[in-house]
Amino acid sequence: MNERSLRAFFTLPPHLFRQICVTAYAFAVLIVIGFTAGMVRPESVEPLMRLFVNAAAEAGLYQVQGGSLAASILSNNLLAMLFAIAMGLVPFVHLPAMELGVNAMLIGGLGAFYVREGLGLPAYLAGTVPHGIFELPALVIACACGLYLCRAATNSILGNGNAKTVATVLSQCLRVYVHYVLPLLAVSAVLEAFVTPLILGQFL
């Protein structure tokens, strides 16, 4: 693959790129809000934390380790990100924004929990950053694709677009999923299974 082909392989449509930038900014703001809410009113984020723990337990992530853990994390995350994109097919309601908001509030709330329990932000970052630097961009990209798709579906209903446009946007989003989200999540899963526990263990 030459340089031109490689550039074309990873090129994002301009409108989708702008959506990713806006989504990333909103995600960062929501994390700060989640952290603040967790510090001021811990009970406000506790339902999200219980939801996270229950979801991980149901997925069997607490019963496996090593390669099996990495495979479980990867399969669960791939399905979650694909679902975030697919939710964009529902017009008007912008369901991917809910997925983004829940995850952002959870991340911020967990940070506040670590601080309140005396574990400190360094321990929280040690347990989040190694795999998070890959997983969180994948989440933002997937949710941005879902929002981009929702806008196309909404425009189609309102007469500002058509089914062909929605199909084109869906095709673009699935290409981004394969080119960006999948490899990011693959690296994240390996790091979360093998590296993050070792680093976090130095702080606990």
21: tokens are 């930038």
The predicted structure's pLDDT at residue 180? 96
Residues in the chain: 204
The amino acid that residue 181 corresponds to is: V
Of the candidates 115, 112, 122, the residue with the CA atom closest to the CA atom of residue 42? 112
Hey, what are 173's tokens?
Answer: 């989003």
Ranges under pLDDT 50 in the chain: none
The secondary structure of residue 11, as a DSSP letter, is P
CB atoms within 10 A of CB 164: 9
pLDDT of residue 5: 62
What per-residue confidence (pLDDT) applies to 154?
94
pLDDT for 25-67, tens place per residue? Answer: 999 999 999 999 999 988 877 787 777 777 766 666 666 777 8
Share the mean pLDDT of the chain: 89
